């Protein structure tokens, strides 16, 4: 039995490694804007929002509502405030701190902005999560948000997750955990959609004045 289990674990890890070698379009897109190594692609969800792209982007990069929608669906958690360390909105290299109250008391999540292309892409790398509020039993968790405007005036927002299992046992349980993560991501995106669509209806929404269109990119410098 032990030999069978060991063989099965190796097979699972080998299959995951083979899948990781197949670059998906979202990972390819993300790597254009960051030098941070990205873990294995673990899936993505997308919602269509009845709001202009610039409104969706400005809600995404502002910290005022992020704790509410990002922690949606996390059981036993009451979202509190969120803020960036260096400025009022997201900037590459800055850290987003999210405070929440749990049954065990106050907790904090810190996320580092590893990629930002105005109006197009915002990506975080999990820096610390002392209560495993976002994802337990994983390593190198990356949360990436892709914004795509449509000709009819709506906007698609895609949430992609990249991470590695922290142990062979976690790899075995991955399909079970992924179903829960899938449902939670959709709940978060649906709440974000409601927030953005409400902001789009306000004559003067309380949104930050930030760049909302892509900026010229340069390829990451290669180390000599």
Residues 39-44 have a mean pLDDT of 91
> What does the pLDDT average to over 45-74?
95
Nearest-5° angle of CA 65, CA 102, CA 72? 35
The CATH label, of 3.30.530.20, 1.10.10.60, 3.30.70.1450, 3.30.2000.10, for the domain at 48-201 is 3.30.530.20
Region of residue 188 (left: phi > 0; alpha: psi -120 to 50; beta: else): alpha
pLDDT band of residue 96 (cuts 50, 70, 90) is very high
How far apart, in whole angstroms, are the C-alpha atoms of residue 11 and residue 220?
35
Tokens for 183, please give them.
Answer: 């449902």
The answer to whether residue 46 scores a pLDDT higher than 60 is: yes
Residue pair 164/187 in contact (Cβ under 8 Å)? The answer is: no
pLDDT at 58: 96
Confidence of residue 44 (pLDDT cuts 50, 70, 90): very high
Low-confidence winner among 31-40, 68-77, 81-90, 172-181 (lowest mean pLDDT): 172-181
Q: Do the beta carbons of residue 57 and residue 118 sit within 8 Å?
A: yes
Q: Note whether 43 and 182 are within 8 A (CB).
A: yes
The predicted pLDDT at position 20 comes to: 44
Residue 39, φ and ψ in degrees, nearest 5: -75, -165
Q: Measured at the alpha carbon of residue 189, what is the angle toward residues 187 and 192, in degrees to the nearest 5? A: 110
pLDDT of the residue at 177: 58
* pLDDT given for residue 6 in this prediction: 46
What's the confidence (pLDDT) of residue 206?
83
pLDDT recorded at residue 3? 53
Task: Tell me 109's DSSP state.
Answer: E
pLDDT of residue 130: 81
Please state, for a pLDDT cut of 90, what percent of the chain lies above it: 62
pLDDT score of 45 more than 90: yes
pTM for this predicted structure: 0.82
Range 160-165 average pLDDT: 90
Mean pLDDT of the chain: 84
Is residue 219 over pLDDT 80? no
CA 59 distance to own-chain centroid: 14
Does the pLDDT value for residue 92 go beyond 90?
yes
Calculate helix-pair angle for 53-61, 168-201, nearest 10 degrees: 120
Average pLDDT value for residue range 18-44: 84
pLDDT at 173 over 50: no
Highest mean pLDDT among 20-24, 50-54, 176-180: 50-54
**Where do the domains of the chain lie?**
48-201
Residue 17 has pLDDT above 50, yes or no: no
> What tens digit of pLDDT does each residue of 178-194 get?
667 788 899 999 999 99
């Amino acid at each position: 039995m032990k030999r069978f289990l060991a063989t099965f674990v190796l097979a699972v890890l080998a299959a995951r490694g083979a899948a990781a070698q197949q670059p998906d379009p979202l990972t390819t897109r993300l790597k254009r804007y960051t030098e941070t190594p990205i873990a294995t692609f673990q899936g993505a969800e997308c919602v269509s929002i009845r709001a202009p792209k610039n409104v969706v982007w400005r809600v995404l990069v502002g910290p005022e509502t992020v704790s509410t929608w990002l922690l949606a669906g996390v059981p036993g958690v009451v979202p509190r405030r969120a803020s960036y360390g260096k400025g009022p909105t997201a900037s590459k290299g800055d850290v987003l701190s999210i405070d929440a109250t749990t049954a065990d008391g106050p907790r904090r999540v810190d996320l580092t902005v590893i990629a930002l292309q105005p109006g197009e892409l915002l990506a975080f790398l999990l820096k610390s999560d002392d209560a495993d509020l976002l994802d337990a039993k994983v390593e190198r968790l990356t949360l990436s948000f892709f914004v795509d405007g449509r000709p009819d005036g709506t906007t698609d927002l895609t949430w992609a997750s990249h991470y590695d299992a922290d142990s062979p046992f976690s790899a075995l349980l991955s399909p079970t955990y992924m179903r829960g993560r899938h449902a939670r991501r959709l709940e978060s995106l649906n709440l974000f959609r409601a927030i953005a669509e409400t902001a789009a209806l306000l004559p003067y929404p309380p949104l930050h004045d930030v760049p909302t269109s892509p900026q010229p990119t340069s390829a990451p410098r290669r180390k000599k």
